[in-house]
Amino acid sequence: DVKVTQSSRYLVKRTGEKVFLECVQDMDHENMFWYRQDPGLGLRLIYFSYDVKMKEKGDIPEGYSVSREKKERFSLILESASTNQTSMYLCASSLTGGRGEKLFFGSGTQLSVL
C-alpha cells in the first residue's frame, strides 16, 4: 500500500514564526499536493508539484511556498505564520496525474497559530 506520511499530527506555532510542514511518500509518485481543509469549505489546493524542483500554484497560494528537492518529499512553508492559517493541512500524491487517477492522502497536520 502507498504510504503518505506527514511529519506532525498536531503543531502549535506563534504568529510570525516560519513553519515547515513535511510530507513523504514511499511509492515513487510523480505528483504531490498540499491542501488545506476548513469546515464548510472542503479542501482547497495550495500548491502542487509534478516533478522534482517543479511546482505550480493552486487556488490559494498566498502566504505559502513549497519545496521539492527529492521526489519523495514535498514541504510546505509558511514564511510568517498568521492566525488565519490555522487549519488542517493535507498532503497527497498520485502516480502520474493521469485521467481519473486517485490521490493518496496523508493523515493531516492540524496547525494552530496563536
Q: Which of 27, 106, 30, 111 is nearest to 63 (CA)?
A: 111
Interaction mask 65-84, another protein, x per CB under 8 A: --------------------
3-state SS of the chain: helix, strand, coil percent to 5? 5, 55, 40
Within 31-50, the residues that bind another protein by CB under 8 A are 31, 33, 35, 40-45, 48, 50
Stretch in the footprint of another protein (CB under 8 A) among 13-21, 29-37, 62-70, 71-79? 29-37
CA dihedral 90, 92, 98, 99 (to 10 degrees): -40
Nearer to another protein, 1 or 69 (CB): 1
Q: Is the sign of the CA dihedral 104, 86, 6, 49 positive or negative? A: positive
C-beta closer to another protein: residue 35 or 85: 35
Residue 65: how many other CB atoms lie within 10 Å: 14
Considering only 56, 70, 80, 82, the residue that binds another protein (CB under 8 A) is 56
Binding site for another protein (CB under 8 A): 4, 31, 33, 35, 40-45, 48, 50, 56, 58, 90, 92, 94, 96-103, 105-108
